[in-house]
Amino acid sequence: MRLGGLAVAALLVFDAGAQAQQLDFGRISRGGDEQLSWRWRGSDNRDYSAAFTLTKDAIGEAEASFREFSMEDMWRSLEAELRDEVEKFGQRTSIKLSRNLDGLHWTISGPDQRLVDQLSRQVAERLERTQKAYLARYTRRRVDQRIMVDFAAATRAQQRPMRAAARALGATPGVADNDRARMTLALGFFQQIPYATLDDKRRRGGDFLPAPALLAQNRGDCDSKVVALAAVLRTYTPLRKLVVVTMPGHAILATDLPSDAEDWAVRADGRQYVALEAAGPAMATVGQVSSLTAKYLKEGRAIEIWPLN
């Protein structure tokens, strides 16, 4: 996960509890589809299985989004846009561009201050417009000086292809008919998918793997798993409110389930949300979190809460 330009691996080690056990993973190509299957052992020591089909187009689009997004490419694109704006404006104006940790900066020169002020406004407007469009293409957003995954937009975009996963989990026998049991099953499914640090220092920013690619590649990091789980739960437990909770180097999901006495939870907008620790490899049940996550939730100072619905 990347927050504020800092990449931190969030592979979680719990004080106690069973580790995720993926017993088998299969991927078979058939025409324009990919048939995916898993077997895993849950925190209750019971074996589970799930199988469903995703289209190659859905997987390809997700993999392209992961592969193509980079901060460097974004800055180059924005610089080209600003130079184009100055060229169109003409009138013997020029622009000098520079970058630092705060973003893109410029100095405009021209024959008089009126032209410089007018062009400065146009450049600022074009930068805001084009950066927003570029980030939206990859379900990112700018928050203060940070470039972040737009968790709500990413969840909406992934809900449709993840309906197959929700249906497969919904067909699992022996699961109690309540949302806590359904969420326990879905949470365990994503925990057993191998954790992988996705940050690529060369691309800088390509560290979010959309759900179809995460499932097809059988790997993911914390925020990738969190959004994939949320996209499934939007169909599997449609009446539940969901939020993403971020903290330094990590993200979890949380939901408005009624809480048990031992559950870790957060409050936002008058609601209480029970924690769902999706990263793995520990098979944390609903409401259970790692000691590091618990520390941040208890202190409450370094967390941010992002509503999804």
| pLDDT bucket at 197, cuts 50 / 70 / 90 | confident
Examine the pLDDT at 6 and tell me if it is beyond 60. no
Global pTM value: 0.89
Examine the pLDDT at 13 and tell me if it is beyond 60. no
- Are 240 and 288 in contact, with CB atoms under 8 Å apart? no
Q: What is the mean pLDDT of residues 78-105?
A: 93
Helices marked H in the chain: 56-68, 71-89, 113-137, 151-159, 163-170, 179-191, 211-217, 222-236, 291-299
The residue count for the chain: 309
Query: What is the pLDDT, as a whole number, of residue 165?
Result: 98
- Phi first, then psi: what are they for 6, rounded to 5°? -110, 125
Q: What is the mean pLDDT of residues 83-101?
A: 94
The structural domains of the chain, with segments of one domain joined by +, span 2-69+144-307, 71-137
Q: What is the mean pLDDT of residues 3-10?
A: 34
User: Cβ neighbours of residue 41 under 8 Å, at least 6 residues apart?
Assistant: 18, 21, 23, 47, 48, 192
Average pLDDT for the chain: 90
State the Cα–Cα distance between residues 165 and 212, nearest whole angstrom: 10
Query: Looking at the domain that runs over 2-69+144-307, which CATH code has it been given?
Result: 3.10.620
Examine the pLDDT at 115 and tell me if it is beyond 60. yes
